[in-house]
Structure 1
């Protein structure tokens, strides 16, 4: 990126906000902070951000609720911070539309690595895999990791785009959960792969409960069936 990426850090812990502001600024990011969801909404109305670092556990409107609200109208990537290590808590974050998550306490260097990984995916225009695949009125561009329906772009999170790309590289061929996990840009496991499949089905299937294109192969994993 020609200019430093602009990050919005949202956390009710003032000490952590200031530590992240200083550390991320030292790593050549432009940083704005907010102490709660209301403050974040004001900042979002005034600035355009490249990515948001958002704490889940905040008084009042929590990070999951703010993520759901953002996803109704905003494509900005979101990395959630959670003080809780339970997998269901992380899964709820992915289900709400977050691109990645990081459990507290965390190493600041890992946060930077994850932020850069998300930003690279957003900025990337020339991945090694190319071509398009069509299914159900949708067209997925493997190189750009973009999903279109007619002329409308359908927003995908980093995990969803990676999953769809892995399946689209071998249409009609079942891919195991383990293989899909190894290609995920987040710290995924079989359960989180299932979550991403469910989210994708909501976006591409007429009836997600009876999928036509993204099908489950019992005992194996998933397969993408093109037109």
Structure 2
């Protein structure tokens, strides 16, 4: 079966695990099955990304250095109502109960079948109350620029700015994101060959077209520890 790319209203999952290999495997599988995915290596990084992005779901490893998954779950559940699925190498009933007592919505023991994880996340998404979705803007404006999402056309005043297909895709992602913030993992997508360096290069190329001083960007700014933000009006 061919990968199913994420739609504009796809669920956005934050995967928190100190094992980068597991993060990449989960991210690739969920990304190929219609989810948008952002990764974090520990609780501190997860908190930074949660401060900038509203996620629909979290997949959270229990055993992590520093603040563990149980503590992070309990803390987050006092602050927000994001569904959390805990992953753990411990599968006995007492550990599962501790996770649920901390506020987790579901629990999956390692090793697990990726398809089971996918089904559990889909079920968690179904439990969420339906929210009225804001109509996406037809045009986003930043400074003297305007980007028409329907035509995928960028204008600098009356002049059309030439864009590559990748630059159109980037502008579409920023325009559709809350507050214009898009995580680095989301910009890279499920393709493991697109690394951080490739994303930085693509962003810098776009900045050269929309910034007076690309080294000191006003419109397309870096959000440290998260990704980038297009400050559109």
Normalised-by-shorter TM-score class: 0.5 to 0.7
Q: Secondary structure at the match of 1:16?
A: helix
Selected match of 2:110 from 104, 107, 116: 104
Q: How far is 1:86 from its partner? A: 1.4
**Cα drift, residue 124 of structure 1:** 5.9
Give the one of 69, 90, 94 matched to 1:63. 69
Distance of aligned partners of 1:19 and 1:54 in 2 relative to their CA distance in 1, 3 Å threshold? same
2:125 pairs, out of 119, 125, 138, with 119
Long gaps (5+) in structure 2: 1-6, 132-233
Give the secondary structure class of the aligned counterpart of 1:48: coil
In the alignment, which residue of structure 2 is the partner of 1:24? 30
Q: Are residues 1:72 and 2:78 paired?
A: yes
| C-alpha RMSD over aligned residues | 1.4
Instruction: Encode CA deviations 1:175-220: one digit per residue, 9 max, x unaligned.
Output: xxxxxxxxxxxxxxxxxxxxxxxxxxxxxxxxxxxxxxxxxxxxxx
The correspondence of residues 5-154 of structure 1 with structure 2, limited to 5 A, is 5-123=11-129
Q: Give the structure-1-normalised TM-score.
A: 0.53
Partner of 2:180: none
CA distance in 1 between partners of 2:99 and 2:91 (Å): 12
Number of aligned residue pairs: 125
Q: CA–CA distance in 2 between the matches of 1:106 and 1:17?
A: 14
Measured against aligned partners, the alpha-carbon deviations of 1:54-74 in whole angstroms (never above 9, x if no partner) come to 000001100000001101111
Match of 1:212 in 2: none
SS of match in other structure, 1:27:
coil
TM-score normalised over the length of structure 2: 0.52
The C-alpha deviation readout for 1:131-168, integer Å capped at 9, x for no partner, is xxxxxxxxxxxxxxxxxxxxxxxxxxxxxxxxxxxxxx
Ranges in structure 1 where 5+ consecutive residues have no aligned partner: 126-227
State the 4+ residue runs in structure 1 displaced beyond 4 angstroms. Answer: none
SS in 1 for 2:28: helix
Residue 123 of structure 1 and its aligned partner are, at CA, apart by: 3.9
Q: Distance in 2 between matches of 1:82 and 1:47?
A: 25
Distance (Å, rounded) in 1 between the aligned partners of 2:91 and 2:104: 16
Larger Cα Rg: Structure 1 or Structure 2? Answer: 2
Higher RCO, 1 vs 2 (CA within 8 Å, ≥6 residues apart): 2
